[in-house]
Amino acid sequence: MTGSLPDTTSAIHAAYLERSRSSAAHYALASKFMPGGTSRQASFWEPYPLTIAKGEGAYFWDVDGHSYLDLINNYTAMIHGHAYPPIVEASHKQIAKGTAWAAANEAQSSLAALIVDRVSSIEQVRFTNSGSEAGALAFTIARIITGRTKLLMARYGYHGSLLEFEIGSFGNEGPLTYLAAYNDLADFEAVLSAHGDDIAAVFLEPVMGASGIIQGEADFLHGVRAAAHKAGALFVLDEVLTLRFGTGGCQSDLDIEPDLTMLGKIIGGGFPVGAVGGSADVLGIFDPADMKVFHTGTFNANPVTMVAGEVSLRELTADRIERMDSLCEMLQSGLMDVANKHGLPFSTNRYGSCLNIYFNESVPESSVVRDDEQVMNDFHLACINHGLFIAHRGLIALSTVIMEKDISEALTRASAAMQDVASEIA
Ligand code: PMP
């Protein structure tokens, strides 16, 4: 969501161009066949993104041969890093036996049962191929059940790339989209009392991810759920990103029971995935015996994603979550020290194993409305120049294979990058 142009006169920019010639060549080729050379805005940055050749563990390598400590892990999805051996083994075995057919497979029931076991509000699951599709499906379910057409979400919330959600993530309302301020229960109640009759569902993230790792207050989340129900709307909790924060996602810790839960990312073990979970009663609208809505998809619940997802979830234990959280805390305070050393204004939001950084004295309302874009862009490129990979909007998400020594390495590399940024500003 950053948009300012790069400073082409900077030493950081020049060093990036110099070390990424093969990525530049690949970008030129890709741009002939895809608009802007990409199919994914979140993995594009100016002047062009790196092209990655392979990943293993906590590191990946670009086509110019440089290695990077990966601190974003495909925007939180690669919870066990790259080419995690148990996932490689399980998926290889499945690939050798075939990857998809127009009939059932056993692996889908194993993953669904595991999700039901771990996530308290979920009795049944419907699989999709992305979190965005899960959002679209949850909205469809709510529309069918309530007979209403609109949704309410938090301003700057993120629920995937369906237009009705995407405009909200940039802070705009639309014909089907109402917005209210995150952590402001009165604002949600006001919209629901004015427009409740039109609203099929209220969507919330328990921790806002794309907006900058902003924790939802328990009273706010419980209050919005109650207000949604009072208005006759469904309450949908988007745990696509937050399932990594606890074995049962955030809903167990918060003791909150949504009508529907959106899932994605880590439940696919690195393969495309999404899911909507809920009570057997609500999900019953898909039951072919009494079908209220037709939902299908060529690769839904394909066995490769299912076996990989099962390993990914089983291996995400409470101990590992705790270890990632404390390493992330160590990284957070280390980055603050490094920024202070280089005289840069710096602030962070952290929840568990995710961190969003800002080159401001205090964190802004959302990553969408920030005034440190130029410095952030410079820092992002400078990190790359020093072999450290973070999201260009400053998001960091650890994986279970990152060790304490990697955190020290990350701080050394971040310090070198901040030194470059500080010289640029001076
Ligand atoms: N909801 C949330 C909270 C997300 O973080 C994301 C992905 N960043 C999505 C939905 C959409 O998932 P996908 O990218 O798989 O479509």
* pLDDT reported for residue 3: 44
pLDDT digits (tens, 9 = 90+) for 182-216: 999 999 999 999 999 999 999 999 999 999 999 99
Sign, CA dihedral 256-259-262-266, equals positive
Asked whether the CA dihedral 5, 9, 10, 11 is positive or negative, the reply is positive
Tell me the domain boundaries of the chain. 11-79+317-425, 85-315
Region 311-318: mean pLDDT is 98
pLDDT at 10 over 50: yes
**Which residues, at least 6 apart from 248, have a Cβ–Cβ distance to it below 8 Å?**
118, 119, 120
Helix (H) or strand (E) holding 424: helix 404-425
Quick one: fold of 11-79+317-425?
Aspartate Aminotransferase, domain 1 (3.90.1150)
For ligand 1, mutation pick of 241, 250, 260 (most atoms within 8 Å of CB): 241
Q: How far apart are CA 40 and CA 219, in angstroms?
A: 35
| Predicted pLDDT of residue 241 | 98
| 56 or 7: which leads in pLDDT | 56
Give the Cα separation of 401 and 104 in Å (integer): 33
Q: Give the pLDDT score at 426.
A: 83
Task: Write out the two tokens for 332.
Answer: 């957070």
Residue 229 alpha carbon to ligand 1 centre in Å: 25
Identify which of 1, 127, 132, 163 to mutate to test ligand 1's pocket (most ligand atoms within 8 A of the CB).
132
* pLDDT averaged over every residue in the chain: 96
Q: Report residue 234: phi and psi, to 5°.
A: -80, 150
- Contact at 8 Å (CB) between 197 and 147? no
The residue to mutate among 137, 182, 265, having the most atoms of ligand 1 within 8 angstroms of its beta carbon, is 265
Where helices occur in 80-162 by DSSP H, the ranges are: 85-96, 106-118, 131-146
Dihedral sign for Cα atoms in the order 403, 373, 162, 154: positive
Residue 410 has pLDDT above 50, yes or no: yes
If DSSP codes are grouped into helix, strand and coil, which group holds residue 270? coil
Cis peptide before 86 (omega within 30 of 0): no
pLDDT digits (tens, 9 = 90+) for 34-47: 999 999 999 999 99
Single out the residue of 75, 132, 123, 90 nearest to residue 367, CA to CA. Answer: 75
Query: Cα(25) to centroid of ligand 1, in Å?
Result: 30
Q: Who's near 8: CB < 8 A, 6+ residues apart? A: 47
* pLDDT over 60 (residue 15): yes
> Atom 6 in ligand 1: which residue has the minimum CA distance?
160
**E strand or H helix that includes residue 235:** strand 234-238
pLDDT at 2 over 70: no
Share of the chain above pLDDT 70, in %: 98
For ligand 1, whether the C-beta of 412 sits within 6 Å is no
* Structural fold of domain 85-315: Aspartate Aminotransferase; domain 2 (3.40.640)
- Residue 5, pLDDT score: 56
Contact 240, 274 (CB under 8 A): yes
Give 42 Cα–ligand 1 centroid separation in angstroms: 11
Nearest atom within ligand 1 for CA of residue 273: 15
Query: Considering just the CA atoms, what is the radius of gyration of the chain in Å?
Result: 22
pLDDT digits (tens, 9 = 90+) for 81-135: 999 999 999 999 999 999 999 999 999 999 999 999 999 999 999 999 999 999 9
Residue nearest to atom 1 of ligand 1 (CA): 159
Between the CA of 340 and the centroid of ligand 1 the distance, in Å, is 33
Is the distance from the beta carbon of residue 130 to the nearest atom of ligand 1 less than 6 Å? Answer: yes
Is the beta carbon of 239 within 6 A of some atom in ligand 1? no
User: CA-CA distance, 314 to 327, in Å (whole number)?
Assistant: 21
According to DSSP, the β-strands at 67-70 and 214-215 are: unpaired
Instruction: Report the separation in Å between the CA atom of 130 and the middle of ligand 1, taken as the mean of its atom positions.
Output: 7
CA angle 131-132-136, nearest 5°?
115
Which residue has the CA at smallest separation from atom 12 of ligand 1?
131
| Per-residue model confidence as pLDDT tens digits over 146-182 | 999 999 999 999 999 999 999 999 999 999 999 999 9
Strand 177-180, strand 150-154: pairing: parallel
- Ligand 1 lined by 159 (C-beta under 6 Å): yes
